[in-house]
Amino acid sequence: MSLEPQELSELRSKIGRDPTSTELQIVAAEWSEHCSYKSSKKHLKMLPMTGPLVIKEKGYDSGVLDVGDGYVVTAHIESHNHPSAVEPYGGAATGVGGVIRDILSAGTRPIAIFDGLRFGNIENDQQARWLFKNAVTGIADYGNCLGIPTIGGEVEFDVCYQNYALVDVAAIGFGKKENLIKNHAKKGDLVILLGGSTGRDGIGGSQFASYSLESENRSAVQIPDPFIEKLIIEATLEARNQKLIHAMKDLGGGGLSCAISETADALDIGIEIDVEKVHTRESDMHPDEIMVSESQERMLIVTSKTKLKKLQEICKKFNIGCSVIGYVKFDNQMHIKKGKKTFANLPTDVVANATLLDLPSKKPKYLETIENERKLEPITDYSKLMMKFLASPNIASKIWVYSQYDHEVGIRTVTKPGRDASVLRLDNGKFLSAKIDGNPKHCYINPREGAIGCFEEACRNVVCTGAKPIGMLDHLQFGNPKDPEIFWTFLESLKGLTNFAKFFKIPCIGGKVSLYNETPTGPIKPTPVIGVLGLIDKKPSIPQKISDDDCLVIVGNTKDELGGSEYFEYIHKFIGGKCPVVNFEDSKKNMFSVLKVIDDNLIKSVHDCSKGGIVVAVSEMCMTNQIGCKVSLDKVPGEKLTVDRILFSESHSRYLLALERKNLRKLESIFKKNKVPFMEIGIFGGNKIQFINSLKSIIDLRVDKAQKTWLNSLKDLVIHG
Amino acid sequence: MKVGVVVFPGSNCDRDMYHVLSDVFNLDAQYYWHEKGLPKNIDAVILPGGFSYGDRLRAGVIAAHSPIIKDVQKMAEKGIPILGVCNGFQILVEAGLLPGVLLKNESLNFMCKWTNLIVENNNTSFTNQFKLHDKIPIPIANGEGRYYVDNNTLKKLKKKNQIVFRYEEMINGSSDRIAGVCNEDGNVVGMMPHPERAVESEINPIDNKPSSLIFESLLTKTGVHN
């Protein structure tokens, strides 16, 4: 773990001497890709990051949105891919811990967790199954113990993640605007390390995450302790209530090195610390180790001497460590001592700001031919195929996962997991809706359109709950950025997201870049994961029970867009074709028209149409409501397509609505006025899922049988293989 | 009416319970930290859910040795209504205030789901407003929620009418589908499911009235309601 030769000479010229060994460790941690974003930072600036609801403060690790009446929502997303690929339980658990502390740092209470999980093909890969099972348990054990509900997420399996894991965790916080920590420091203020002890776990974790995973470096994986984290949450919020915190930052990647240099740089101050004052787990730790240890459950707090006693009392109450490790100076240096001896003394701006790179990019060669389709085997029995499809890991219900997460604690969860998006009630009578979405299969075929699709899908999910999107989080996960072809896909995805965000005026309030995600067989597919937050001023759209004779209406056109679809990839084992493309104008029209009919109370239930196509979306509505539906495929609006393409196309901007017949007229007039493509394509009733085309039966399935398969297949696969 | 909500390090349903007591049922709820004693003029005590001491050793076992438990014991003897929910139930069992133990669920996983309870004893401080065999839709959320007693104790529980709630369906392997029990006097009740998550219609997708009767029963017992 060290600096590259040119970085070392750069450091030498910036400080005008040879760095000490401690300085080298500090700078290597802070200049790692993981901490510095050196490959991506220049480009990330293109994203719109401001808006009427966005609150900006110095030194925040999470985004802040004003949700009115004196309240704010904070949000952040992180991943823990490298550690989870080696030790899935601890990697996933500490991933939760890290993002929770980012929320806490702003002075807000964490109120929800989301997880996005990706593994290899669990149908035939035992390693993938082991990673999946343990990552889920890691998240469950950590989040449940904290009493923060895990209310949503997504799980996907793709052979590109073989021997690897993507574990993304997003968190949401809530609090009073007046309680936000306005990071600042006064001369003579004390620097305090609060929480768990510093040990030898996670040493060099950020550098470990900044290279391709070649060895199982277990000492670079951090050890989780949710009980200490819970105590830290309560202690810091109590300290916040008593106004005892001037500035606060969590210790994550890069440990103390990162927390001190970034805090000092953001506040334009210097910090001097004595590593002997740090409470450690082992007695013989070297200053280098103390500075880069990534032991979890630690917070850095700046406060005044007069407030120290009260802070110590709170820490004593919760029985957590509280060490005064140093103080604030105004020389913009980070000065690391052990007793009287200096081990490092560096300008904070040098440490905190790695030289940003402008990496070359080149369109990947594979993209030249990826859209060409090959001839597919004709389908003879769609009903049989459908049962196989409903049991497939990517389509099957994820109830086995979310039933292990306490998703009710905190008594805010109005719409529970398993729906399009989850909804939380806020203290001001409003509701917050949120969802994260990714689609590496689409992004592989077209990194730009695929990324836009993820963004639109997350918006659609939030819209289905009656919420208007107010902010987004982006998590950009790619392979080695030094490969120009991979870097091109990164830039394309980023440009796509930027265009969509600007068009819809949805600010990016936070994000993360994770690079060097490489497996033994090559880079992962481009995997941007997008989180969208939506706000509901009045009442959320709670799905009502669908009953006999209710009609099924589809909004949006179905197009010949099956590239990267589950149908092509799972059924035909074919990677290629044209992936779905979002038309921004259509997207907006459809989105706002659906919000309008929800607002007018015209519908019983809305469901987003995405992975697996219409056939999966309709089946999900039927299975969730335990009711049958008869759908006429020839009525589906859009391009004229063969039966399989209508069933399985994953075109965006489509919604399925269930409503009482008496409301159909009003609905039609709204859609016609807004020039939204729509059609009544089916009628609910009975106990069968039926699709017909020109009077010919295509699919005929019993709802109960389909539901049993859909609900149980993932659990059976994990437990029995 | 004063209700104490006991808070241990790692409790995480304390704020939910406090909200329900004070905002839904307009009671004078107070938090009591585990190291402190309980005041004498208190009318009821609730031990909320969570992961006291991170469930180390065994759920509830460390918290059962907290200083405040001595006061809880004294109040139990005086007949003051005491309710333990989830981790609170585990603590009451570990403290010897209620019979039985709570083991890891049969699935070996944490389980969070809505289920139905059947009221088996409507003579306790927390069930006096129910009819026998009333059904309560309510969520569970636990990893160690499998209630276990040996056969002799089970016979005794039945004889003394100490089984308060049963699950409508077997969900976790509990002895005789037991979800909640009481002491012989019926003033101390422990239950694994979370009534505080089910009393508000906004977050209860089925029916919030049955769970509310648990709190209404307490109000009746303590004379707030007649």
Map residue B33 onto helix, strand or coil. strand
Q: How far is A277 from chain B (nearest CA, A)?
A: 26
Distance CA B147, CA B98 (A): 12
- Those residues whose C-beta lies under 8 Å from the C-beta of residue A592, and which sit 6 or more positions away, are A674
pLDDT of residue A222: 77
The order of strands in the sheet holding A468-477 is A413-415, A422-425, A431-438, A527-536, A468-477, A508-514
pLDDT at A216: 57
Render pLDDT for B4-61 as a digit per residue (tens, 0 to 9).
Answer: 999 999 999 999 999 999 999 999 999 999 998 999 999 999 999 999 999 999 999 9
Q: Cα distance from A135 to chain B (closest Cα, Å)?
A: 13
Return the SS3 of A307: helix
Of chain B, the percentage scoring pLDDT greater than 70 comes to 100
Residue A475 falls in the annotated catalytic set: no
State what percent of residues in chain A have pLDDT above 90.
Answer: 91
Structure tokens at A135: 């990552």
Q: Return the CA Rg of chain A.
A: 26
Residue B141 contacts A where some CB pair is shorter than 8 Å: yes
* Spatial CA neighbour of B213 closest among B140, B78, B117, B145: B117
A418 DSSP assignment = T
Burial of A126 (0-12, 13-18, 19+ CB in 10 A): exposed
Q: How many CA atoms lie within 13 A of A599 on its CB side?
A: 13
- Superfamily of domain A543-721 in CATH is PurM-like C-terminal domain (3.90.650.10)
pLDDT at A208: 64
pLDDT confidence of residue B218? 96
* Reported confidence tier of residue A34, pLDDT bands at 50, 70, 90: confident
Judged by DSSP in three states, A688 sits in: strand
Q: Which residues of A touch B50 (CB under 8 A)?
A: 147
CATH: 2.40.50.100, 3.50.50.60, 3.40.50.720, 3.90.650.10. Which one for A5-45+52-352?
3.90.650.10
Task: Give the bridge partners for A425, in sequence order.
Answer: A431
Query: How large is the average pLDDT for residues A494-504?
Result: 98
* CATH fit for domain A412-509+526-541, picks 3.90.650.10, 3.30.1330.10, 3.40.50.720, 3.30.300.210: 3.30.1330.10
Report the C-alpha gap between B4 and A304 in whole angstroms: 35
Q: Where are the domains of chain A?
A: 5-45+52-352, 412-509+526-541, 543-721
What residues of chain A lie within 8 A of the CB of B63, using their CB? Answer: none
Tens of pLDDT along A383-402? 999 999 999 999 999 999 99
pLDDT at A623 over 70: yes
Lowest pLDDT segment from A195-204, A264-273, A492-501, A561-570: A195-204
3-state secondary structure of A372: coil
Least CB-CB distance to A411: which of B113, B197, B205?
Answer: B197
* Cα angle A405, A428, A410; round to 5: 20
State the smallest CA–CA distance between residue B153 and chain A in angstroms.
31
Domains annotated on chain B, with CATH: 2-221 (3.40.50.880)
A57-81 confidence digits (pLDDT tens): 888 889 999 999 999 999 999 999 9
Spatial separation of the C-alpha atoms in residues A123 and B90, rounded to whole Å: 39
Length of chain B: 226
The β-bridge partners of A280 are A198
| Beta-carbon count within 10 A of B225 CB | 11
Same fold across A412-509+526-541 and A543-721: no
Angle formed at CA A303 by CA A297 and CA A305, multiple of 5 degrees? 125
Does A218 have pLDDT greater than 80?
no
CA B8 – CA A169 distance, rounded (Å): 28
| pLDDT score of A211 more than 70 | no
Tell me the residue ranges of DSSP E strands in A575-672.
605-608, 629-632, 655-659
- Phi-psi group of A638: left, alpha or beta (phi > 0 → left; psi -120 to 50 → alpha; rest → beta): left
pLDDT at A364 over 60: yes
Instruction: Give the number of A-B residue pairs with CB atoms closer than 8 Å.
Output: 81
pLDDT at A512 over 80: yes
Taking the alpha carbons of A416, A421, A425, A426 in that order, is the dihedral positive or negative? positive
Q: Distance between CA atoms of B200 and A413, rounded to whole angstroms?
A: 11
The strand pairing partners of A533, in sequence order, are A434, A471
Tokens of B173: 């392997």
Contact (Cβ atoms closer than 8 angstroms) between residue A100 and residue A111:
no
The confidence score (pLDDT) of residue A217 equals: 58
* Residue A586 host element (H or E): helix A584-599
Q: Given this model, what pLDDT does residue A1 score?
A: 52
Average pLDDT, chain A: 95
Which among A474, A461, A453, A423 has a CA at the least distance from the CA of A79?
Answer: A474
Q: End-to-end distance of chain A based on CA atoms, in angstroms?
A: 39
> Closest by alpha carbon to B50, among B4, B97, B15, B1?
B15
Is the CA virtual torsion A140, A143, A149, A154 positive or negative? negative
**Secondary structure element (H or E) that encloses residue A677, with its range:** none
Q: Determine the pLDDT at residue A257.
A: 93
Specify the DSSP class assigned to residue A554: E
Residues from chain B that touch A414, judged by Cβ atoms under 8 A, are 202-203
- What six digits make up the tokens of B26? 């307009």
* DSSP structure class, residue B177: G
Query: Most B CBs within 10 Å: which of A144, A148, A317, A424, as the mutation test of the B interface?
Result: A144
End-to-end CA distance of chain B: 14
Beta bridge partners of A170: A77, A114
CB B10 to CB A412 under 8 A? no
Mutation choice for B interface testing from A148, A405, A408 by most B CBs within 10 A = A408
Contact A170, A98 (CB under 8 A): no
Local confidence band at A581 (pLDDT 50, 70, 90 cut-offs): very high
Q: Is the pLDDT of residue A204 over 80?
A: no
The answer, for A425 touching chain B at a CB cutoff of 8 Å, is: yes
Strand partners, A171: A76, A113
pLDDT digits (tens, 9 = 90+) for A78-100: 999 988 999 999 999 999 999 99
| CB A408 within 8 Å of CB B194 | yes
pLDDT tens digits, residue range A424-482? 999 999 999 999 999 999 999 999 999 999 999 999 999 999 999 999 999 999 999 99
Whether B120 is catalytic:
no
CA distance A605 to chain B (A): 15
User: Which residues of A448-576 form beta strands (DSSP E)?
Assistant: 468-477, 508-514, 518-519, 522-523, 527-536, 551-555
DSSP per position, B106-172: TTSS-EEEEEEEEE----STTTTTSPTT-EEEEEEEESS-EEE--HHHHHHHHHTT-EEEEESS--S
Q: What residue has token string 């009493």?
A: A147
Whole-angstrom distance, CA of residue A685 vs CA of residue B88: 45
Decide: helix, strand or coil at residue A704. helix
CA distances from A17 to A4, A9, A24, B197, B221 (A): 17, 10, 12, 62, 78
Q: Which candidate, B7, B16, B13, B15, places its Cα nearest to that of B45?
A: B7
Instruction: Name the catalytic one among A76, A80, A475, A607.
Output: A80
Q: How confident is the model at residue A212 (pLDDT cuts 50, 70, 90)?
A: low
- Mutation target to probe the A interface, by most A beta carbons within 10 A, among B33, B112, B196 is B112
The predicted model gives A329-351 an average pLDDT of: 95
> What amino acid occupies position A603?
I
The confidence score (pLDDT) of residue A215 equals 54
Q: Nearest CA of chain B to the CA of A319: how many Å? A: 9
Specify whether the CB–CB gap between A108 and A63 falls below 8 A.
no
pLDDT at A61: 84
Inform me whether the pLDDT recorded for A205 exceeds 80.
no
Number of helices and strands (H, E) in chain A? Answer: 24, 28
pLDDT of res. A57: 85
Q: What's the pLDDT band for A201 if we cut at 50, 70, 90?
A: confident
Joined tokens for residue A513: 């870049």
Dihedral angle sign, alpha carbons of residues A425, A428, A433, A434 = negative
Q: Give the separation between CA A133 and CA A130, rounded to whole angstroms.
A: 5
Residue A406: the pLDDT is 98
How far is Cα A59 from Cα A260, in angstroms, rounded to an integer? 11
A149 and A143 Cβ atoms separated by less than 8 Å: yes
CB contact under 8 A, A230 and B54: yes
pLDDT attached to residue A716: 95
A78 — phi, psi (to 5°)? -140, 165
pLDDT confidence tier of residue A2, bands split at 50, 70 and 90: confident
For the segment A158-187, the average pLDDT, to the nearest whole number, is 96
Least confident of A401-410, B33-42, B175-184: B33-42
Q: What pLDDT was estimated at residue A154?
A: 96
d(CA B226, CA B222): 9
Q: Report the C-alpha gap between A576 and A665 in whole angstroms.
A: 41
For residue A538, name the pLDDT band (cuts at 50, 70, 90): confident
Q: What is the mean pLDDT of residues A417-427?
A: 95
Tokens of A198: 């510093």
Nearest to A226 among B54, B110, B112 (CB): B54
Q: What is the SS3 assignment for A73?
A: strand
Q: Which of B55, B111, B200 sits opposite A403 (nearest CB)?
A: B111
CA atoms of B120 and B132, how far apart (whole Å): 6
User: How far apart are alpha carbons A282 and A222 in whole angstroms?
Assistant: 15
* Mean pLDDT calculated for residue range A605-627: 97
User: For A426, what's the count of Cα atoms within 13 Å in the CB-facing half-sphere?
Assistant: 30
Confidence of residue A283 (pLDDT cuts 50, 70, 90): confident
The pLDDT of residue A309 is above 90: yes
Q: 3-state SS of A121-170?
A: CCCCCHHHHHHHHHHHHHHHHHHHHHCCCEEEEEEEECHHHCCCCEEEEE
pLDDT tens-digit map of A289-303: 999 999 999 999 999
Task: Write down the pLDDT at residue A206.
Answer: 64
The verdict on a CB contact (< 8 Å) between A413 and B203 is yes
Question: What average pLDDT does range A703-713 have in this prediction?
Answer: 98
Taking 90 as the threshold, does the pLDDT of residue A200 lie above it? no
